[in-house]
Structure 1
């Protein structure tokens, strides 16, 4: 009989935790976009993608925009976001801005990176290898369409749920000799060249990240590509995908 109160307290506490977790998960996923890739027109692509996310998913977004090669103001907003979305190229971040970026990505916080995220920070090129787990070694020439295949048994991965990508027009990135602990989800091939990983996940310092070397303007218009990125945002945050009801 003496154990009954203890069991009741444990049961009540369990219920309270369930309610707390449910309340937390009902809040919109806060995504902070880091935009600064003129090569692939991130400032044309990302506003439209943000609208797509906020219209169709339980998501709110903010976007930080490159104003100079060494200036990406507003990085203090990383402290309050649920997921960072990296799409900038060869920025020469320094001082407090570099420190804020490094603090976020090295602390196990959720991260999604696309295309030039592999060489986002010219003043910290190790970001690719140390954080993303990649090994960007330039890219093949423009022209050949990249054929896309699901890697191994990755078809059941939540990020690929409802996703059917078969080809992309952008040049194929070279990423051989990547980190051994990434889980490749998609592979890409062009005629006469080795297969390259196109999309993968990694766990870093206990946190989840997703990277894809896809991300050209045409690919961003593909519903399946957008769906994959939306899935990745929720997956890295360890939340189920939350669609808005019509």
Structure 2
């Protein structure tokens, strides 16, 4: 009996190991036959609060509907192979950047190993386009005692060309503060009419954005950027909440050029909006879709009536720490 019990236990353990080994650490979405635009987008999730593990798959499916081949990467616990946004040192699949035409990043305070960071660094030195959402302004954070060739990517880098880290050098701003009252004030967007008048393709069809996440503080003057959208805190957490005129406007979406030392110039779209619940806003989805087409040189295909409805059911969680779905694998976000 003991022999059979041991055999059964061994069989179960082998099955569990096999199941774990079969979990692919990323998602892939292909456009329907005949609709491909020939462009490949890598969407990188990995934040503890704003549920990018929910928003990035939704946006990946939306982009695939418009001709992109898309891949979604996740923060993965290497022991369980499960999605764990609180695991800050592992995002497998970044080698896919080698053949990507666009990187969309929504990470927060990651300290990735050098092997993984090397793909991001190579991509950026090639001057390829970037879209940074919400916490991407503070996408990386290496502690003082961490030995890494990429410590300068940290949001709190103080001096030199990398001041502000990835956010400062590439996106145009690092983490400053919550300008709005976090969890109590949302964001009312004001579209920059000057950019509308010159028919900026990213703003085509974008008219009405309100999101539950609050306005981030901006310290950089962004003199080298085209500000597309300004944001004002709202005194409440609904779309009908009045604007809080006691607080100033802040840029919440812009484009600019970036260039790493010894790298080529590239173009960037940044928005400090972008939590999973923010993306229930149709016009925010439109803004990001338009920015994606602009980033890869397909701005002539942007029209005001592009379909931005989510593919399938999209019911994201409210932002918050520790609220992610535990025990999920990447395929569960398919």
Regarding TM over 0.5, the answer is yes
Alignment equivalent of 2:114, drawn from 79, 95, 98 = 95
Report what 2:188 is aligned to: 147
Alignment equivalent of 1:47, drawn from 44, 49, 57 = 57
Greater shift in the superposed pair: 147-156 or 230-239? 147-156
> Which sections of structure 2, spanning at least 5 residues, go unmatched?
1-34, 77-86, 143-152, 156-164, 234-243, 260-264, 308-334
Rounded to whole Å, the distance in 2 between the matches of 1:178 and 1:116 is 19
Please say if 1:133 is aligned against 2:172: yes
How far residue 152 of structure 1 moved from its aligned partner, in angstroms, is 4.9
Rounded to whole Å, the distance in 2 between the matches of 1:227 and 1:166 is 10
- What is the SS of the residue equivalent to 1:31? strand
Report what 1:16 is aligned to: none
CA offset digits 1:181-222 (Å, max 9, x no partner): 011100011221221100000112432110000012222122
RMSD: 2.0
Cα 1:135–1:193, aligned 2, differ >3 Å: closer, same or farther?
farther
Report what 1:112 is aligned to: 131
Report what 1:29 is aligned to: 39
Report what 1:20 is aligned to: none
Report what 1:59 is aligned to: 68
Q: Which structure's CA Rg is the greater one?
A: 2
TM-score (norm 1): 0.82
Please say if 1:175 is aligned against 2:218: yes
Report what 1:188 is aligned to: 231
How far residue 28 of structure 1 moved from its aligned partner, in angstroms, is 3.0
Contact 1:112 1:211 in 2 (8 A): yes
Contact 2:169 2:258 in 1 (8 A): no
Rounded to whole Å, the distance in 2 between the matches of 1:40 and 1:138 is 16
Higher helix share: 1
How far residue 37 of structure 1 moved from its aligned partner, in angstroms, is 1.6
Rounded to whole Å, the distance in 2 between the matches of 1:234 and 1:76 is 23
- What is the SS of the residue equivalent to 2:267? strand
Rounded to whole Å, the distance in 1 between the matches of 2:230 and 2:37 is 34
Rounded to whole Å, the distance in 2 between the matches of 1:158 and 1:145 is 26
Aligned runs of 1:200-215 on 2, under 5 Å?
200-205=254-259, 206-215=265-274
> Which sections of structure 1, spanning at least 5 residues, go unmatched?
1-24
Rounded to whole Å, the distance in 2 between the matches of 1:178 and 1:134 is 9
Rounded to whole Å, the distance in 2 between the matches of 1:32 and 1:213 is 19
The count of residues paired between Structure 1 and Structure 2 equals 219
Rounded to whole Å, the distance in 2 between the matches of 1:37 and 1:159 is 26
